[in-house]
Amino acid sequence: MLWDTLTPFHAPRWEKNAEAAIAAGSKHLLAFNEPDLPAQANMDVPTSVKGWMEHMEPFHAKYNGDVQLGSPAVCNGPDAHLGLQYLATFLEQCAGCHVDFLAIHWYGVATDAGVQNLKDHIGKATAMAGGRPIWLTEFAPTGSDEEQARFLEQVLPWLDDKSNGVDRYAYFKVETMVSGDSLTKAGAAYAA
């Protein structure tokens, strides 16, 4: 993943690191991590579009589409400049970009309402994806270990059903799924 283009650490090393990943067998590259959040990549949409054209789009041309490019990974914040609204604006302003899949994040509560909120978030992303798959590259609910396990027992079968548009998903903070040498209840639910 190219975290951002604003800090001197990421962009200058991106091409070399991406090429090394491709040489090792990677077929996917991810763009910016939560550019819609000040505490993360913190990039406005025009900066993300410029960064995409400079650092991501060349891989589409070089590899003739054989390397799939993932959109900036956005949060699920409700504000007008966050989350899916940010992503919609990015896709509109980057109309000539070759975005092969949409990367999104979700954080919420481990309740029935949280389950529905995650499903609704993915449904909205799928509706705007234009047939592109969704990668839920980070998701995690808050709650007790038991509440998180119940949440996962409800959402994992749904996430595994490809008809909802989700192609891949990854739980965030995997270290919360283990305690010592054992799986927590949430960890056992995820592993099941």
Read off the pLDDT of residues 2-14 as tens digits, 9 standing for 90 and up: 888 888 788 889 9
- Give the whole-angstrom CA distance, residue 160 versus residue 122: 13
Q: What local confidence, expressed as pLDDT, does residue 68 receive?
A: 97
Q: What local confidence, expressed as pLDDT, does residue 162 receive?
A: 87
CA dist 155 → 65, 126, 159, 183, 190 (Å): 32, 16, 6, 19, 10
Q: What local confidence, expressed as pLDDT, does residue 33 receive?
A: 94
Q: What local confidence, expressed as pLDDT, does residue 38 receive?
A: 87
Q: What local confidence, expressed as pLDDT, does residue 169 receive?
A: 96
Q: Which residues of the chain fall short of a pLDDT of 70?
A: none
Q: What local confidence, expressed as pLDDT, does residue 142 receive?
A: 94
Strand 178-179 and strand 182-183: the pairing is: antiparallel
Q: What local confidence, expressed as pLDDT, does residue 67 receive?
A: 97
